[in-house]
Structures are given as C-alpha cells and as structure tokens.
Amino acid sequence: MQQLTNAPVYKQIFINSVRDIPLDFLLQNSPDESIPVCDFIPSLNPCGLAATLSFIVDTNRVPVCDLSSDNLGQWNTKDGQRMSVRKFYYKEKLKCAEGEHDFCVIRRKYTHPHCVPPNSVRKVIWYAVISYFIDSDAQVPIIPHGNSKKNDKGYVRTRPSEIRKRLSKSKYKYSEINSYPLEVAISDADVDVIDEGEEGIACSSDEGNSDIIVVDPLEDSNGNSYSDINISDEEMIKRIAEITTAPLFSCKYINAIGQVPIELLRRSDLSADLAPVNYSVPQIQITGKGVCMSFIVECSQIPIPEFRRVIYIDAKILGSWNTKCGKRVSVYKFFFNKSKMKCLEGEHEYCVLRKKYVHPFANPPNSVRKVIWLVRRFDKTYYRFLSLNRFYEYVLITYRIQDDAVVERHISKSPHRTYQPLPPMEPVDEEVITSEIMRITQSPVYLKRFINNIQEFPFQLLLTPWNLDEPVCYSVPHIDILREPTKVAVQLSFIIDTSKVAVSDLSTDNLGQWNTSHGRRMTLRKFFFNREKRRCLREDHYYVVTRKTYVHPNSIPDGAVRKIIWQLSTDRGFTRYALITFDIGAETVVEAIPHGNSKTNTEVYVRREPSLTINERRAQRRIERTRQLSFYFLLYLSTSPSSKRSRLTAPSSITLYGEEFIEGMDGTYLTHEDLMIRMAQSSSRRYTRPYHNDEPFNLVFLMDQNVGLIQCASCGVDFSRHAHPPEDIVLEHIERFWNQRTGCFSLQQMQKRYIHARLECVLSRYEYFTTVDFLSISPDVRMRLTDAHQQYLSVEFGCSYI
C-alpha cells in the first residue's frame, strides 16, 4: 500500500455505485475521528499492482475545484476519453425526482486516456469521496503536454486554486498609460484539462463573474515576446520606424486587459498631449526584424469592419488575417459596471472587446500576431433595436512580429500552391487611382469607396424617386479585369436605375459566375428599419435594406474581388435606385473559366440576364397558346363528330421497346406537334395526356431523399452533395408511358425522377409543364423554405403564392 500512495485510505474498494457511498458520514458537520480523512489531494504511483482505493477528502482544507486534479496528468482528451456526469437526487435519504430533493449526489467518472492497457486505470469522484480502480500491470506513460512537446517529464496539471486569481472587488483608475490593475475572482467550479494547441484560454464559470486566465507560454506577464524582452526601447523604436510611419502609442504588445488604456479609448476627444492618434489604419511592411508596437486609431471616419484587415488603402500589405480553413479571429468580451469593476453581461456600463488574430500565411507559423481592442458603450436599445452608434471613436491596435518573420501570399490557383513574398509598400497617388478606374470601367461612378457597412448606406439617396443629382447607371456596370490585371487597388460604387435594369439582373455582369457549387456562395442579410428610419425588429419594420455579398471564386489572388448589392424595399416593392459596390485588389485578374458544354472555350462564362430568359419564356408561351387555339378551332370546323372522337381516342405514336403494333386500330395518328398541344389540355377523363396522368411535380429537399441521387434526369448534371440554398431543392416527378396494347398508360413503367428546380430543366424533358399548377409544395416543405428559396421559385416559376 505504501508503494501505491502516501495518503490515508478510507477503504480498499472501488466505489462505483451510489449504494456504496457513506451518506451518513458525508452529511455530518463534524468529521468522525475514527475514519481516515485526507487534507490534501491523494497521489498515486501505479507500479503494476492491482488495487482498488477510496479516499475521503476534507473540502474545508482542499478546494472543491482541485478534486479532479492529481499527479496522473490529464484525464480528459479532445478526441478520446471524456468525463461523464450523473446526478442522484435524495429526499430524507431516499431517491426522488429532481425538484423534490433535499440534496444531490454528483458522480463524475473518469477513464485515463493514456493508460496501458486501455481502461485499466479509472477514477470516480463523489465529492468528497475519490475512488480509484487500477488493474494489474497497469501503467500511465509519460505524455508531453501543451508547448512542452520535447519535455521528458509527464504533464502535471496545475491546481485550479493555484492559478493566479483576479480580485473582482479591486477598483482601478487611469494612472499610467500601460498600468491598469484588473483582477477577477475564480469560482469553485471544476475546470477541465486544457487541450494542447491553444495559445490563451479564458474559461468562464456559470456561477459568477469568474475567469481563469492562462498566459501565452510565448509571452511574459506583460504580454511581451520572450525574444524581444531584452531589446531596449530605443532599439525597438528604431525598428518600428523602418516598417511604418504611423504615430506610435507604445512599443509593447498589449495582450492583457490590465494594460489596455480604457479611459483613453473612452474619451470623446483625445488631444495630442495625451496620446498620438492615427486617422487611418497603420500600414505595416515586414522587414524580418522582431517588433512589438501599439497604435491608437480614430475610427469615426473608418468603418469598424475595415479593422479586420491591416490594409485600408493598399491591398498588397499584409492581406487577409482570416482564412476559410485556417486561422480565425477569436473574440472575448470583458464587462464593466459604473464603478469600473468587472460584472456580468446585462449589468455592465461598457464592454471591452478583444479580437486576436494570427496571420495564416506567416512563416514561421504564429510569428505575426495582432490584437484589436474596442470599447463598446452600453445602450439599452442595443439588444432590441441594434443601435448603430454603439462603439467609442478610438481603437487600440497592437502587433507582435518575431524575428525573420515573412508573410507569404497565394498567387496561383493550381493544385500545387506556390507562394512568394509580398512586394514592399508603395505610395498610391489619387491620379493613378482615377486613371485606373477610367481604364477598367466606362460606367458613371458614384463614389470611389467600397460600401460594406450599414452605417455608410445612403438611405435617403435611394429613397429619392426621381431627379437624382448623382451619376446613375442605366445598365449593369461593366468591369474590365478579365484580360489585364489591375495596377492598383480600387473601390467603386454605382447607383443603378431599376426602371431601366430589371431587379433580377443586378447580380449578373461581365465577370461571369459569382456562385459555385462547392466554393464561394452569396451571403444575404436584411436590416430592418421603422418609419423613422431607425433599426428595429422584423415585426415592427417599414423599410428593409437587403445586402447581398459576393466574393468572386475565380479571382487571382483568391478573394481579391468582392461585390455587394444594396437594395431598399418596402411592402410595396423595391425602390427605384439600387447600389452596387466593388472592392478590387491590386494586381488582380479574373480567370476565364469554361462553363457548361464549352469546355474548350477560352472566354469567360457570361450568364444570361434572368429578365431576358423570363421574357423569352413568356413570349414562347403566348405563341404556343395562340397556336393551340387556332389548331382546335380548325379541328372543330374540319372534322365530323365521329372522326373527332376517333382522333381523340387514337393511341400515341410513342411505343415501348419490344411491344408490337396491333393491327386494326382505326383513326389517324397525331403528329408530335399535335401531341404536345394535346398534353396541355385538361380533361375529366383519365389517361388522356401522353406521358402525364395528373402526377404533380413535388418540390422536395435534396438532403431528405435517401435514394442515392447522382444526377438530374433532364440535363444530366450531377447533384451537389453539399448544396446551399436555393440549390438544395429539387423536383420529384413520376413518369408514365403510353401503352399501345392496352390503350392506356403503363403501370409497370412507372418511374420516379429527380430534376433541378429550374424551368429550363423541366421544359427540356417535360413539355407538358405549361402551368404552375403542376408544381406541388407540401406544408412541411413550405415551412422550411427560406427567403432565398422563395425568391428563387418566384423568378423561375412565378410562384407568387409562396
């Protein structure tokens, strides 16, 4: 026993059942001296001997949050064994239902994820009873953890009670620029083992305003990099001057909330004697020297979303900090009350937002980092009406760049990606931008700015019904970036007159397709306003602002061409004017991608305008309707009742394979054109329409069909396995064929087909689809249709009733 543990053992049994728990002893206020009790966490040494041990721990001397930690390392893994919890409710020491109980017994079961053999080391915590099961020849190998990948010592978890606590009652005031004491209390909740690979974790408890702060192992307590601590301030300022000309606030990497100058950021007006202020986002050029620097930016004239990128003028500097499958921004919120103490959400006076970025293309990895600190004021209408002016005017941006860091950029769309270092920063002249705009477009430009924020949306301008004083486009803008790349980054905004351009045609331009089946997709968002033009809920709105965001899937470099369509509407419909804005990076070109059957075509695919397609379909329907009336009028005048009856009852010329023609059939066969006209005629008799016997076209969701769908029965194009709205809906239809032998439709040849929910695919295979009444939508499918589905079906089939 002395080889296994040095703690006093309660019993040499493994307490896995609630019936074996000493409830009488655990409910006592004073401990029994005859029962051994531990005043520390027991330590075990699995030496290959089988053992079952149970300990009782005095929680007056040992914090409850420390019961789950011992010398055996982590008991939870991200993808392996996890702790399981079960609660037992008692009333007068008898089991009862939840809500009727006097006390609750909580059981937490653990199985060590690294023990050999598996499941040979187990633990159960009953709060204040800890029970172990150790199988014979069981071993716990040394597993490096966290950033100590090459450490020969096993991971020993730090007691949660030993982690640096932050006092929740401490007040702080602005005394120095880089000194803000801010402490929060830690709760008694149990904390899981921290998974490896995370640079900084803040774990919150549900019982109060408690945070457990785990400091980045690559940084000291002040947030500075170990590699840059020994550099003097003079040397650091000299390095910073080589990479940027922006006014510097501090030559430190501010990563902790205690160092943030909150009072400075909350000021309405910041003078130059208090702190230097930037009026644009700082431009950074990587030189290979490690630096730590912080800037204060006045953001009243800069949209908040622009801080997600380092660039604001030149797109060639550091590029995007977020990637679809790589590094993503992490956001954390700190809430403070009027007394400047940390509090819960809902009781706060203001909120501090921390946005941490790690550049995805930095080499070596994690060598370029950025943190953005924003202070958001508390507006009581924020949660209900989404107040627009909710941020203060000043933002703190801090960077940390290690030595020999290089930012690379993807420049090829081939499967084998190649990267090259970014070119140095060059000043951009306004005349150069103007000449570049004149080269790539001949359409009248409204603004030389990319409007991607609702705060910049020209609300009153689009409400103007006529006589607009701004330049207006009477066609969709033409952007010429298909054959020659741009020289500088440009941002354009156009106003479109929808009385000259159909609303459905706003999304089509000369740059080809903006949506792909497995890549870039359009994102749609709606903003609701009341009659006073203030943000409100959907139920109380009068105006709706629709924002459609596109990122071109074939741009080089990837993501360098963006487009947003802004539309303003009411219950009566859309306003006359719409806004289209473009953001095009420097040295950017749109690659010509062959489409459809033109696999060898070198020209970029240009989608047909939806309004032209709809008009052609309507004209074709009018021609067919006129032809039908003329045909039946002549048929009625030129045929007798007997011949007319024989013509209507004659079999179809379509014959199944292997079926012979039956002689003796009277009447004249109808031509294919006559059959098509006959298909569209309604009749009270059954089986009077070839192919069609009152079987509807059912609208279904593609993912609901478990029949192994591969391709459309009409066009033969494969269905997408991960379709996005509105391409995740298809049409289901039952086909039946005419049988000459029986003179009716064949029941044996009945087949269920699936086709794209496009009028073009439907008409190419089923020409009898002449009315929208053939389209059937079940109630459960109708409830699941989104706005994108409804708009798509309205354009394709004219479903105004959806």
Check residues 795 and 541 and name the one with the higher pLDDT.
541
pLDDT for 378 beyond 60: yes
Instruction: Say which residue the tokens 């499941």 belong to.
Output: 119
What pLDDT was estimated at residue 750? Answer: 63
Domain ranges in the chain?
A: 1-162, 226-410, 428-606, 614-797
Question: Three-class SS string for 165-191?
Answer: CCCCCCCCCCCECCECCCCCECCCCCC
CA distance 179 to 177: 6
Q: Which residues, in sequence order, are bridge partners of residue 185? A: 210
The DSSP H or E segment spanning 659 is none
pLDDT for 424 beyond 80: no
Sign (positive or negative) of CA dihedral 156, 201, 337, 275: positive
Cis peptide bond upstream of 557, omega within 30? yes
Question: Three-class SS string for 469-493?
Answer: CCCCECCCCCCCCCCCCCCCCEEEE
Check residues 185 and 610 and name the one with the higher pLDDT.
610
Q: Given pLDDT bands bounded at 50, 70 and 90, which one contains residue 668?
A: very low
**Top-confidence range, 68-77, 307-316, 561-570:** 561-570
Reported as a single tens digit per residue, the pLDDT across 59-114 is: 888 888 888 888 888 888 876 778 889 989 988 888 898 888 888 999 999 998 88
What pLDDT was estimated at residue 152? Answer: 59
Instruction: Say which residue the tokens 């690559």 belong to.
Output: 218
pLDDT for 190 beyond 70: no
Q: Given pLDDT bands bounded at 50, 70 and 90, which one contains residue 184?
A: very low
What pLDDT was estimated at residue 582? Answer: 93
Based on DSSP, count helices (H) and strands (E) in the chain, helices before strands: 12, 30
Reported as a single tens digit per residue, the pLDDT across 476-529 is: 898 988 888 888 889 999 999 988 888 888 888 888 888 877 667 888 899 999
Q: Mean pLDDT of all residues in the chain? A: 73
CA distance 265 to 612: 54
Check residues 588 and 323 and name the one with the higher pLDDT.
588
Rounded to the nearest 5°, which phi and psi values hold at 224? -90, 150
Average pLDDT (717-722) is 79
First to last CA, the chain: 75
156-170, 334-348, 366-380, 449-463: segment of lowest average pLDDT: 156-170
CA distance 356 to 652: 71
* The pair of three-digit structure tokens given for residue 645, joined into one six-digit string: 């009856």
The DSSP 8-state label assigned to residue 192 in this structure reads P
Q: Given pLDDT bands bounded at 50, 70 and 90, which one contains residue 677?
A: low
CA distance 236 to 289: 10
Reported as a single tens digit per residue, the pLDDT across 312-347 is: 323 335 666 776 656 778 888 898 988 888 888 878
The DSSP 8-state label assigned to residue 511 in this structure reads T
What pLDDT was estimated at residue 230? Answer: 63
Buried b / exposed e over 88-103, threshold 16 CB at 10 Å, is ebbeeeeeeeeeebee
pLDDT for 187 beyond 70: no
Q: Given pLDDT bands bounded at 50, 70 and 90, which one contains residue 223?
A: very low
Average pLDDT (399-403) is 89
The residues, ordered by sequence, that sit 6+ positions from 654 with a Cβ below 8 Å of its Cβ are 675, 690, 691, 737, 738
* The pair of three-digit structure tokens given for residue 483, joined into one six-digit string: 């054959």
* The pair of three-digit structure tokens given for residue 10, joined into one six-digit string: 């309660």
161-175, 208-222, 254-268: segment of lowest average pLDDT: 208-222
Q: Which of 298, 312, 295, 326 is nearest to 452 (CA)?
A: 312
CB 752 within 8 A of CB 697: no
CB 41 within 8 A of CB 87: no
Average pLDDT (264-281) is 83
Average pLDDT (558-562) is 87
Q: Which residues, in sequence order, are bridge partners of residue 625? A: none
Residue type at position 48: G
Buried b / exposed e over 351-376, threshold 16 CB at 10 Å, is bbebbbbbbbbbeeeebbbbbbbbbb
Buried b / exposed e over 562-581, threshold 16 CB at 10 Å, is bbbbbbbbeeeebbbbbbbb
Q: Given pLDDT bands bounded at 50, 70 and 90, which one contains residue 640?
A: very low
Specify the 3-state DSSP secondary structure of 117. Answer: coil
CA distance 245 to 285: 10
pTM assigned to the model: 0.33
Rounded to the nearest 5°, which phi and psi values hold at 746? -80, 130
